[in-house]
Amino acid sequence: MKLLKRLPRGRTLGVAGAVGALVAGGLILAPMVSASASAGCRVTYTTNQWPGGFTANIGITNLGDPVTSWTLGWTFGDAGQKVGQGWSATYTQSGASVTARSMDYNGALGTGASTSIGFNGTWTSANPTPSTFTLNGVTCTGSVSTPSPTTQSPSPSKSPSASASPSRSPSGSPSTSPSTPPQGGTPLSVNGQLHVCGVNLCNQYNKAIQLRGMSTHGIQWFASCVNGTSLDALANDWKADLLRIAMYVQEQGYETNPSGFTAQVNNYVDLAEARGMYAIIDFHTLTPGDPNYNLDRAKTFFASVAQRNSAKKNVIYEIANEPNGVSWQGIKSYAEQVIPVIRAADPDAVVIVGTRGWSSLGVSDGSSETEIVNSPVNATNIMYAFHFYAASHKDNYRSTVARAAKLLPLFVTEFGTVSATGGGATDLSSTGAWLDLLDQNKISYANWTYSDANESSAAFKPGTCAAGSYTNSSSLSESGTYVRNRIRTADNFPTS
């Protein structure tokens, strides 16, 4: 399944460093400038705001002695600011004073360790940035940053509630259910920490679920399509469960600026979490096709993002996008070296392994799923990737997936409604047959792509991301219209 993604011309975007600003379709995400604290803690504070409301994301780093729990305190500069729905902490407010107390899964912070929290809030006449933060009573001195008050973004209504966030569970086993299952809520707040059970992706109640969502295009080219406004649309208008973050390694990607791309990926993870969506961190290897070429880069990258996101429940790791020109044994060897790096920092997250022949389970190389069944990766809590492009891959590929789904945990981390080039006419008949098969087997999927690339696989028409009108139906391509309608149908997330 040779997926030759068409590379955009004239759309190359420079990638800022680890604290660089991302400017995206009118929404300015302020750089996360760390306070130069000398009193044992460092705090970063960034907001996306709109008339009357805002979302705040707060990064906390403990520079002092290790702690087993923490309380972060600050005072709003405007008495009209109020904390609303929050995540990753328990919030209380008295007047302008706010405290955020750690959860059971993120309270332990060693020296130099970090965690992140956030909330949706409201404001009246102004929305100034808090000037002082304290961690367990110790003042974190220095500067913090926030976007310009003129920044506009629709109010996000999908963000995980701290009260609906039970503790994480060991790999491969369900976490303890809350005494009262949540009613409604976001995909993340309902399902919590995911794990693999048998051939299924399962939620915190040990029930098989299916996630449905979208993949970005290469974030080195289409960062303007991934911002607070576009992800509000994905969560609330599309009602998606999932954002796949396609970080190319070559092709002007990660290898050109490791720290900058790592920071960009982490920011997108936070944006997805704030909207109650899961995030796949995709190490998008394509050319060269042997993932072992990037083994050292993979170890460095996944060690960093797994450590940084270890307390999050919404992260899934995809360690090799589309292996090609390499044997299954070569892919397996790579996986068995990278997975332990992730597990060292994040022991209970789901990991997805790419498969032979552009993640076709070997079919595009004249093989089949039997090579994986006979020699699986020596690791637990993993799934195997399958990719298809509906106009190119039809009955023989579907037959393989139908057969393999009974033996292997599969995740369609990428599919297109068009040909394997990413272009050509949409084949909605074949796409429908594919999605029906995935629905029947509760196989999760992400569509290529949530972008306005000048190709028929893109969900939006060219120019949409610059205009920022993601909920305008006239902005959708034929592919985007079809996929949005499929994703918008009701989820089935059992809790008992």
**Residues 270, 228: Cα–Cα separation, whole Å:** 10
Q: Check whether residue 204 and residue 130 sit in a common domain.
A: no
Total domain count, the chain: 2
- Within this chain, do residues 105 and 199 fall inside the same structural domain, yes or no? no
Q: Is the dihedral of CA 466, 469, 475, 477 positive or negative?
A: positive
- In this structure, what CATH number is given to the domain that contains residue 53? 2.60.40.290
pTM of the model: 0.67
Note whether residue 295 is domain-resident: yes
251 carries an active-site annotation: no
Structure tokens at 27: 């929404």
273 catalytic? Reply is no
Amino acid identity, position 68: T
Distances from the Cα of 468 to the Cαs of 54, 83, 150, 320, 411, in angstroms? Answer: 18, 27, 15, 31, 30
Last residue of a domain, one of 78, 105, 140: 140
- Indicate whether 312 belongs to any domain: yes
Q: What is the Cβ-side half-sphere exposure of residue 277, based on CA atoms within 13 angstroms?
A: 31
Name the token pair of 49: 């705001």
Q: What is the residue-level pLDDT of the chain in tens, covering all 496 positions?
A: 444 443 332 323 232 232 233 323 333 333 333 333 334 788 888 876 666 777 787 888 888 888 888 999 989 887 788 888 776 788 899 888 999 998 766 788 888 877 778 787 888 766 678 878 898 888 887 544 343 333 333 333 333 333 333 333 333 333 333 323 334 589 999 999 999 999 999 999 999 999 999 999 999 999 999 999 999 999 999 999 999 999 999 999 999 999 999 999 999 999 999 999 999 999 999 999 999 999 999 999 999 999 999 999 999 999 999 999 999 999 999 999 999 999 999 999 999 999 999 999 999 999 999 999 999 999 999 999 999 999 999 999 999 999 999 999 999 999 999 999 888 999 999 999 999 999 999 999 999 999 999 999 999 999 999 999 899 999 999 999 999 999 999 999 999 8
Q: How many helices (H) does the chain have, and how many strands (E)?
A: 11, 22
Examine residue 169 and state whether it is found in any structural domain, yes or no.
no
* 105 inside domain: yes
In a domain, residue 161? The reply is no
Listed in sequence order, the residues at least 6 apart from 334 whose beta carbon sits closer than 8 Å to its beta carbon are: 291, 292, 295, 298, 319, 320
Domain that holds residue 126: 25-140
Residues 132 and 197 in one domain: no
Instruction: Specify whether 372 is located in the same domain as 458.
Output: yes
| Residue 301 structure tokens | 């990258």
Task: Looking at the structure, tell me whether residues 268 and 194 fall in a common domain.
Answer: yes
From 85, 109, 140, give the residue that closes a domain. Answer: 140
Same domain, 131 and 200: no
- 67 and 197: one domain? no
Q: Scan for tokens 């985007």, then name that residue.
A: 480
Residue 207 is part of a domain; what is its CATH number? 3.20.20.80
Q: Say yes or no: 255 and 351 in one domain.
A: yes
Domain-located, residue 241:
yes
Residue 152 lies in a domain: no
Count of C-beta atoms within a 10 Å radius of residue 14: 11
Pair (360, 453) in one structural domain? yes
Which listed residue (273, 318, 371, 414) is catalytic? 414
Q: Of the candidates 104, 125, 140, which is a domain's last residue?
A: 140
210/221 Cα distance (integer angstroms) = 29
Residues 416 and 319 in one domain: yes
Query: Residue 55's beta-bridge partner residues?
Result: 48, 120
Is 30 within a domain?
A: yes
Q: Are residues 225 and 310 in the same domain?
A: yes
Same domain, 115 and 209: no
Return d(Cα 404, Cα 116) in angstroms, integer: 39
Catalytic residue (one of 318, 322, 369, 455)? 322
